[in-house]
Structure 1
Amino acid sequence: MIIIRIHIIGGAGSGKSHIANLLQKELNIRHYDLDDIFWDNSSEHYGVKTPEDVRRRKLERVLQFDQWILEGVYIKWVEPSLSTADKIFVLKPSLELQERRIWDRYYKRLAGELPSKKKETKEGIYKLIDWNRNYNDTKLSQFIQEFSYKEKLIVLENNMDIYKYL
């Protein structure tokens, strides 16, 4: 068995979940959305974080598997997965594309065309877009520049380009 541990990082609407789902099906490797670990989806309210100790234990359970695909926007608390990953893909498509995808996803969830555990509001989407701009321009760029595991890091504008590296 080939061990494959893939970590995908990118802003909202960068295509992380889409490519992770495709890879899960094609490689037969379980995909874990880090939002499901970070956010308390059982809460009555949108935006409630899972306690840090619970979040850490959940991540540790995933990392015990020989193969996994993790995806999310998170940088700091996921250090154990970054050090363990074989490949780390950072998705940086244009902000225009990301924002179009964010709105498309929101309206599909609202119409019931796309299942969601999230309790999003229009106001929340505006906040997400503002947060995403800062994340891409500042946090993600700084992460790439200062990242310790450069030999594993691959920055892509198009999520489908991941296939060139697997």
Structure 2
Amino acid sequence: MNVNIPKKIHIIGSVGSGKTTLARNLSRKYSIPYYELDNVVWKRHKGEDIRRSDEERDALLDKIMSSDRWIIEGAHHHDWVSQCFQNAELIIFLDTPYLVRISRIIRRFILQKLGIEKANYTPTFKIFMKMFKWNAGFEKKSKPKILDMFRQDKMKSLIIKDNHKLEQFVSEV
């Protein structure tokens, strides 16, 4: 493994920004396990997902972060995730354009309904519609807070706005 590769990476971005794809690619390339914060929050069950208690969620996140190497990805930037940001050697913010995320949400839903793309959840129309709401909320509320956090805390962060820069980053690390 390249010694310049951070061993603890946190990827944040809205739904449809490319977090999971980037986490998978980096994980495969550098043999670093990756974890989705949604799977830390939710116990996945065939019929219906069940939200973990705050204590269960925090214990699971602590267990993940206690390992030597990890890639953690998610849209969450709440207090319970702050330790991820503090422990990460690199934070990557995927600031993908809003309309690109919209098209990815639509494409993902269609591929999931056709059984072509795997989902950790049941791809219902209700969740599909929520994704648009989450995307808009991320743009208006979360994104300014994340950018402010980067400025205030002077974290080792990288902001990627388009696929070209993302591909360049992955090929260079």
Q: How does 1:33-44 map to 2 (within 5 A)?
A: 33-42=36-45, 44=47
SS in 2 for 1:66: coil
- Code of the aligned partner of 1:113: I
Percent identical pairs in the alignment equals: 24
1:112 corresponds in structure 2 to: 115
Alignment partner of 1:28 is 2:31 = yes
Name the CA shift for 1:131/1:31 in 2 (closer, same or farther; >3 Å).
same
- Code of the aligned partner of 1:136: E
CA offsets 1:4-52 (integer angstroms, 9 cap, x no match)? 1000000000000001101011111111111111122127335x42211
1:130 corresponds in structure 2 to: 133
Q: What is the root-mean-square deviation of aligned Cα atoms in Å?
A: 1.9
- For normalisation by structure 2, the TM-score amounts to 0.86
1:121 corresponds in structure 2 to: 124
1:80 corresponds in structure 2 to: 83
Gaps of 5+ in 2: none
1:55 corresponds in structure 2 to: 57
Paired with 1:10 and 1:164, the residues of 2 have a C-alpha distance of 20
- For normalisation by structure 1, the TM-score amounts to 0.90
1:153 corresponds in structure 2 to: 157
Name the CA shift for 1:55/1:138 in 2 (closer, same or farther; >3 Å).
same
CA offsets 1:62-102 (integer angstroms, 9 cap, x no match)? 11111110100011121111110000011111111111111
Name the CA shift for 1:19/1:153 in 2 (closer, same or farther; >3 Å).
same
Asked if the contact 2:92/2:159 (under 8 Å) is kept, the reply is: yes
Match of 2:70 among 64, 68, 71: 68
* Greater shift in the superposed pair: 87-96 or 153-162: 153-162
Paired with 1:126 and 1:98, the residues of 2 have a C-alpha distance of 13
Q: Cα offset for 1:160?
A: 3.0
Q: Cα offset for 1:135?
A: 0.9
